[in-house]
Structure 1
Amino acid sequence: MREDEQLTTREIGGMTLADYSRAFWKRKWLVLLVFSLVVFFAAVFSIHQPKIYEAVASVEIDLQAERIFSNMSDVYELGDLSYWDSKSYFETQYKILQSRMVAEMVVERLHLDRDLVFLGLSDIEDETELAERLAKADAIELLRSSLLIDPVQDSRLVRIRYQGTDPKLITTIVNTVAEAYIEQNLNRKLSSTKKAISWLTEQMQDLKTKLEDSERALYAFKKENDILSTSFDQQINFTGTRLEELSRELSRAESEALRLNSDYESIKRVVPENDGEHVASSAVLKNPLIKELKVLYASQQDKYEELLARYKEKHPEVLLAKTQLERTRASLEREIAAIVQAAKSELEAAESTVQALRGQLEAVKNQARGLTVKEVEYNRLRREKESNQAVFEQVLLRLKEIDLSGMLKANNIRMLDDAKAPTIPIRPRVRLNILMGVVLGVLLAFGTALILEVSDKTLKSADDIQRYVKLPLLGIVPQVKVEPGSPEASIPNAAEMFAFLKPTSSMAECCRTVRTNINFMMPGKTLSRLLITSASPKEGKTTIVSNLAIAIASAGHRVIVLDTDMRRPRIHKAFNMTNEYGLSNLIMGTMKDEEAIRHTPIENLDVLTCGPIPPNPSELVGSEKFVEIVNRLSKTYDRIIFDSPPVIAVTDAMVLSNIVDGVILVVKCGKTLRDEAAHSKKLLLDVNANLLGVVINHLDLDNREYGHYYYYYYRRYGYYYGDRDAAAKTAT
């Protein structure tokens, strides 16, 4: 990351912890004052506040009242509710607790509308004003405004809170609110119960009439259809059974008739043959008499044929045998005819039985169809009667349950903990208020310090130079403090000569550091002409000029200081000289160089003061004559140091910057504004000045605000040289 990017990042990042610490320490007395005032006012405010007490009662709200009989429900019952329905129910109860209805019940019972302490009118002595205020006072709304309902999370408990200055009164109010709420809930349930009883009683009469009408209609139907002795279902079952029995008998009779008809047809086909044989029939063959006659007939036929073969037809034995054969044949035919007639009679009887059974079956079917038609009407009448009876019994049972529930007076809301008179006020909470005052005091105190620090736009550190001015830091020169009674205290303007007066001081060492840094700014090139300027007046540039000149001269270089500030010259005062003549005389040609240049007590250091102040300083320093003077001096001296006017005030510094090798910008710690330094930099760069860097002047090393890393670094030089001097004195 490049340097400019780093600087931008640090600038955006804001102040460091060290910056905060220095800002707070710098304004420690202001911080302490603000903190003390805030804590003091918090304590006074808390002590003088009226004592507020709070009474608390707890009420339990169930979805349903406790059931004494498990199978009995209330008139007003919620049943199984979903989460959102249950939440809505409890929210409704909270609103009822804060309702005007409950508040009005409490006001009426406790006569709060005439309680001057409750209404806050006890301090009014004027009866007329008191009467007017009483007429306008709304005790109900006043009660509601101070009543707090606090549901206990994840439970069915509700805390009723009331705050006031009278512990006994607020306790009575809270308990009365709870009682009024419980009472109105019970009254609402009892009112619903009474309405339900009244409505159910009216319905009972109508239901009783409907039940009696349905019972009479069912009785008339059963009487009309002769089903009083047995039930209708029994008759239907009997008819069904009879149908099954007749169907089975008819099937058997039809089978028997078919069999007899088959036998009869077989018998009818029995006819005698020429040879006296007959067609076999099962009915005939099974008859024993027929069997005997057939055997006899066959025997006689054989005998007749035998005799006929032996004798002639007219032979008596043949004729006898023929007569016997004919008789036997006649007997056989008679028996067969009798069997045929018997089979026919039996067949006719069977067919008659079949016809009779068919008639009975049809009659039973007709009866069954009639019962089916009657069953529809019967079932309708029975259902109507049973429905009316069930509704009647249900309403009668519910009426008794509601009546019993009303007598029980079961309530789903009950008092869990009644309120007790509080002894400790909840407000003011003196310790908490003082603690908050401490916290607020800390915040305000440090906030004030921070605001002042943020609003401070001056340059105070090397970081500020890098962050806002973005120029190299050549060095830091501490504030010169001359101790009373010291040898330096008797010397006027000792600060401008301090590097000479106290060469082992930290201030002298800092000037030598600046000298070294200047030498390293442009290696290989000698910076013989140095212009020292500042953004604004009174930033200590003359002090830097004189002490830096002393530091350079002490290194063996011939140095001359030119006071080019022809508006407010100070170099002559720094070296305890007069300003009767000087640079302006050289430019005007009224004096020679050796006449105008003055020598100082410091080896290798001369001074060319401003001289009489001219009316046109800018024209003088920008003249060719002035350039000639500088060129002549450059041949005689190794270093020429110009004490220039401020950059922003006049243009002299910008004019002089073009004839010097480098420009040094002096900023006064804690005084030079950031914008002024940055603007000065811009003005010098606009004229192509070789801006070497910045020297921070007037740094107070005893001030912790500025005593960060260079605080220890520069103070140690003083300790080191101080110790060395002390050791030298001891050796002497």
Structure 2
Amino acid sequence: MDNTTGNMNSNIAQNFNVKEENELNLRYLVQVVMQRIHIVIIMFLLIFIGTILYTVNQSKVYKSETQILIENGVAAGGVFEQMTPFINNDMVINNEIQIITSRTIAERTINSLLVEYPLDSLYLFDRGLLLENQSFSTKLKKQLKKMFSKEEEKVLTLDQKRKNYINRLLNDLEVEPVRETQTINISIESYSPTEAAIILNELVTQYYANDLERVSNAAGKVRNFLEIQINDVEPKLAAIEEQLSDFLEKEGIVDLDENAKQLIQKSAEFEAQLFTARAELNIVNDQLEFLKSQFDEKQQQILDIRLQVANPLILRLREEIAVLEKYFIDADQSISDNQVKLAEMELKKKRLEEETLLLVQYGYLPGELDPMAVNQTILAQIVENESKKVSLETKVEEYSKLNRYYNGLIEEIPSASISYIHLERERQTHERIYLLMKERYEEARIQEASQISNVYVIDKAVPKYLPIKPKTNLNILLGFIFGLAAGIGIILLREFMDNSIRSKEDLEGLGLTVLGIIPSMSIDKAKKVLDKKYSSNDDFRNRLISHFKPRSPISESFRSLRTNLELSVVDKTISALVVTSAGAAEGKSTVISNLAIAYAQFGMKVLLVDGDMRKPTIHKMFSTPKKPGLANMITKRSKMDESIFKTEIDNLYVMPAGSLPPNPSELLGSKAMKELFTQLRKQFDKIFFDAPPLMAVTDAALLGSMTDGVLLVVRAGEAQKEVVVHLQQEMKNTKITIAGTVLNDVNPKNTSSGYYYYYQRYYFDKYYGENTK
């Protein structure tokens, strides 16, 4: 039970400490920012004002939009209904997006605009290069480029400009599909709202025209081919009819039996069918060639691979179709018309089933080949024509066999009628061909005329006079946020990069004992604390807070240092101590003076020796003569009573540095110094040596080797950790005792420690607040 209660109390205490630490850290960060608020203000103003100037100086950009509907005609019916899982809406839409953003459409648009609008009339056509249309930043960039760039501006040809316009149009164009629909949003940006609408409408017009040309091109090729065939057959038919008429006038009417007439009719019919099949085969081959030309080299490779994969089934399909075609052709001679029609329907049904199976199982199975890599609409047309080609080749082969068969029968007719039979057969053949071509020609014309684009413009582009750039409100908001963030970030980064000692925890982390913490005490604050009768124009004397204001918090911190110093050792008494620092201007002379006063106030006879023979200051603080002093005593040029001066403070005596020697280190390390130190120790309870900084010279180390230890003064925010670590190692190597450290010039607002916060709130502010009296 006791263990459980103890664990609970431990957890509660731990959670409380973590919470308190987090609060202090946050408070500390706020204090750091508030102390350097001027940096935040400067960075904020620079970025915020710069953002406003940048925004105001930017040219306004307008955006025009249009929406089109793509009607998917590929999966409308027939064979391709079963292909919808593969030729899906996304594929079709993506194909159309590729076409819209193609260089072909952009080039057609630019060429059309160049016809209607002269150069420099649109921003797209370098209107923005005109001086009156340029923003300040653009003009400044051009001037700087002229000043620092040695390259001369090149004069571009019209073709070069045209290429630039095309690239510019493609860069400004944005095309994206609307999810779960067959619509596409197209938008374009320009410095003019009217120009944006003009360019976008022209681009959609060219895209529509291109799509219409694409869907009607194949039908047009068929019509042109049939027209050529009709023009070729028509004069031949007229010539044969004329030959037949001349033959009848010369030879008279030829009487043929019924069998011969049927042979002539059948031969002419099959000859016409053979011609028609060959013509249709030529049309299909032309269409395949045209469709394949729409693919680039990579897409052509993909197409060839797919056709090769499907080739075994195509061969099998060819054989089955050949059997059915032969049955259909042979059945025409022996069965009724209804049966022939049924056979024809069965043939078509069988062929469509086999083609569908082929396409679904082999042509569009997803695998290593990406279905999106090839235009699915064109690919479907190619596969459809490949199937037609198989059927037509079979027809040509079968009709060729029948044609040779009936030609052989005709040759067996008696020679008296053979010339007439040949002429009549040729006439009937060409007549049937002519009628078939005319019929197909009319069908092709109707098909070509009925071709429509699968593109429907839902909304035409209209000018929108609300600019999309610059986004003034957003830019100002971002400038406000980034301005504050930059200022605070610089402060926090500087704080993070700061490797100086700022708190008691920093010193303890280095393995040093902190005996005292001295609050920050500037000269102005010291004058404010001191009574008017004690305050003077002498900055050195104003630092003696322990004497002139013994009840102040700073004086209390020196008395706390005195107590901690006495309690830091148990088995011996510290009677002589060297006070020094790592570097200059860390406040060691102020600390040692006030510490000596604290000991004197405690009733001890104290001697304060200025051991800094390079830059002495103790005589200035206590208003004593500069010499004679320590240097004179070591060199035997003065007596002890001449070199020690009593101060206005009871029990406190001062020995100044004396005449400044050229070799202070030699004097401090001499035998005479040791003898002097022995004499002084007998006469005083406490002796304090003010020594030069350790990093500068070895004076402090020499004095430390004779005394009971060294007290190291560290100014918060100034002394670097690596320097203190280095000094600590040197003291260890020379076997000099570091009695402890004093953290000087601590601003409670600069630390996250709860102790400092408490000290600041309940003691420091009472003396240094606005209401200090």
TM over 0.5: yes
Under a length normalisation based on structure 2, what TM-score does the superposition of the two structures give? 0.62
Find out whether 1:54 has 2:63 as its counterpart. yes
How far 1:541 sits from its partner (Å)?
0.6
The answer as to whether partners of 1:495 and 1:543 remain within 8 angstroms in 2 is no
In structure 2, give the amino acid aligned to 1:475: G
Alignment match, 2:473: 431
Find out whether 1:546 has 2:593 as its counterpart. yes
State the alpha-carbon separation in 1 of the partners of residues 454 and 445 from structure 2: 18
Alignment match, 1:189: 215
Alignment match, 1:569: 616
Alignment match, 1:532: 579
State the alpha-carbon separation in 1 of the partners of residues 38 and 469 from structure 2: 33
Alignment match, 1:422: 464
How far 1:634 sits from its partner (Å)?
2.1
Aligned length in residues = 541
Please, which of 124, 139, 146 is the counterpart of residue 172 of structure 2? 146
Find out whether 1:473 has 2:514 as its counterpart. yes
State the alpha-carbon separation in 2 of the partners of residues 381 and 188 from structure 1: 35
The answer as to whether partners of 1:25 and 1:705 remain within 8 angstroms in 2 is no
Give the secondary structure class of the aligned counterpart of 2:470: coil
Please, which of 188, 192, 202 is the counterpart of residue 176 of structure 1? 202
Find out whether 1:710 has 2:756 as its counterpart. yes
In structure 1, give the amino acid aligned to 2:126: G
Give the secondary structure class of the aligned counterpart of 1:488: coil
Find out whether 1:93 has 2:96 as its counterpart. yes
Find out whether 1:499 has 2:560 as its counterpart. no
Report Cα offsets for 1:345-376 as digits up to 9, x if no partner. Answer: xxxxxxxxxxxxxxxxxxxxxxxxxxxxxxxx
The answer as to whether partners of 1:562 and 1:643 remain within 8 angstroms in 2 is yes
How far 1:597 sits from its partner (Å)?
2.1
Report Cα offsets for 1:277-318 as digits up to 9, x if no partner. Answer: xxxxxxxxxxxxxxxxxxxxxxxxxxxxxxxxxxxxxxxxxx
State the alpha-carbon separation in 2 of the partners of residues 197 and 205 from structure 1: 23
Alignment match, 1:482: 526
How far 1:440 sits from its partner (Å)?
2.0
The answer as to whether partners of 2:64 and 2:462 remain within 8 angstroms in 1 is yes
The answer as to whether partners of 2:93 and 2:177 remain within 8 angstroms in 1 is no
Matches within 5 A, 1:99-498: 99-110=102-113, 111=115, 114-118=118-122, 119-121=125-127, 136-138=160-162, 139-196=165-222, 208-209=273-274, 405-467=447-509, 469-480=510-521, 481-483=525-527, 486-490=532-536, 492=538, 493-498=540-545
Say if 1:593 and 1:404 are closer, same or farther in 2 by CA, change over 3 A.
same
State the alpha-carbon separation in 2 of the partners of residues 444 and 501 from structure 1: 46
The sequence identity of aligned pairs, in percent, is 28
State the alpha-carbon separation in 2 of the partners of residues 591 and 214 from structure 1: 143
The answer as to whether partners of 1:482 and 1:488 remain within 8 angstroms in 2 is no
State the alpha-carbon separation in 2 of the partners of residues 513 and 421 from structure 1: 80
How far 1:424 sits from its partner (Å)?
0.5
The answer as to whether partners of 1:539 and 1:667 remain within 8 angstroms in 2 is yes
Please, which of 557, 560, 567 is the counterpart of residue 604 of structure 2? 557
State the alpha-carbon separation in 2 of the partners of residues 195 and 78 from structure 1: 26
Say if 1:607 and 1:84 are closer, same or farther in 2 by CA, change over 3 A.
farther
State the alpha-carbon separation in 2 of the partners of residues 599 and 381 from structure 1: 140
Report Cα offsets for 1:381-417 as digits up to 9, x if no partner. Answer: 99x99xxxxxx9x999999987655443343222122
Alignment match, 2:671: 624
State the alpha-carbon separation in 2 of the partners of residues 206 and 665 from structure 1: 121
How far 1:666 sits from its partner (Å)?
0.8
Where does the alignment leave 5 or more consecutive residues of structure 1 unmatched?
Answer: 1-12, 232-379, 386-391
The answer as to whether partners of 2:75 and 2:87 remain within 8 angstroms in 1 is no
State the alpha-carbon separation in 1 of the partners of residues 533 and 543 from structure 2: 15
Report Cα offsets for 1:165-216 as digits up to 9, x if no partner. Answer: 2212211221221222122112211112233566799899977248999899
In structure 1, give the amino acid aligned to 2:188: Y
Higher deviation after alignment, 711-720 or 438-447: 711-720
State the alpha-carbon separation in 1 of the partners of residues 742 and 759 from structure 2: 16
State the alpha-carbon separation in 2 of the partners of residues 507 and 614 from structure 1: 35
Give the secondary structure class of the aligned counterpart of 2:195: helix
In structure 1, give the amino acid aligned to 2:743: I
Give the secondary structure class of the aligned counterpart of 1:537: coil
In structure 2, give the amino acid aligned to 1:437: G
Say if 1:83 and 1:643 are closer, same or farther in 2 by CA, change over 3 A.
farther
State the alpha-carbon separation in 2 of the partners of residues 396 and 570 from structure 1: 124
Give the secondary structure class of the aligned counterpart of 1:641: strand
Give the secondary structure class of the aligned counterpart of 2:560: helix
In structure 2, give the amino acid aligned to 1:184: N
State the alpha-carbon separation in 2 of the partners of residues 191 and 381 from structure 1: 31
Please, which of 588, 591, 597 is the counterpart of residue 638 of structure 2? 591
Please, which of 578, 582, 586 is the counterpart of residue 625 of structure 2? 578
Say if 1:109 and 1:130 are closer, same or farther in 2 by CA, change over 3 A.
farther
Under a length normalisation based on structure 1, what TM-score does the superposition of the two structures give? 0.65
State the alpha-carbon separation in 1 of the partners of residues 661 and 701 from structure 2: 19
Find out whether 1:601 has 2:642 as its counterpart. no
Where does the alignment leave 5 or more consecutive residues of structure 2 unmatched?
Answer: 1-21, 133-152, 231-268, 278-324, 340-396, 403-432
In structure 1, give the amino acid aligned to 2:102: S
State the alpha-carbon separation in 1 of the partners of residues 458 and 190 from structure 2: 23
State the alpha-carbon separation in 2 of the partners of residues 410 and 561 from structure 1: 109
Give the secondary structure class of the aligned counterpart of 2:612: coil
Report Cα offsets for 1:253-281 as digits up to 9, x if no partner. Answer: xxxxxxxxxxxxxxxxxxxxxxxxxxxxx
Give the secondary structure class of the aligned counterpart of 1:427: coil
Say if 1:465 and 1:152 are closer, same or farther in 2 by CA, change over 3 A.
farther
The answer as to whether partners of 1:56 and 1:171 remain within 8 angstroms in 2 is yes
In structure 2, give the amino acid aligned to 1:117: S
In structure 2, give the amino acid aligned to 1:438: F
RMSD: 4.3
Alignment match, 2:13: none
Find out whether 1:677 has 2:724 as its counterpart. yes
Bigger Rg, structure 1 or 2 = 1
Give the secondary structure class of the aligned counterpart of 2:688: strand
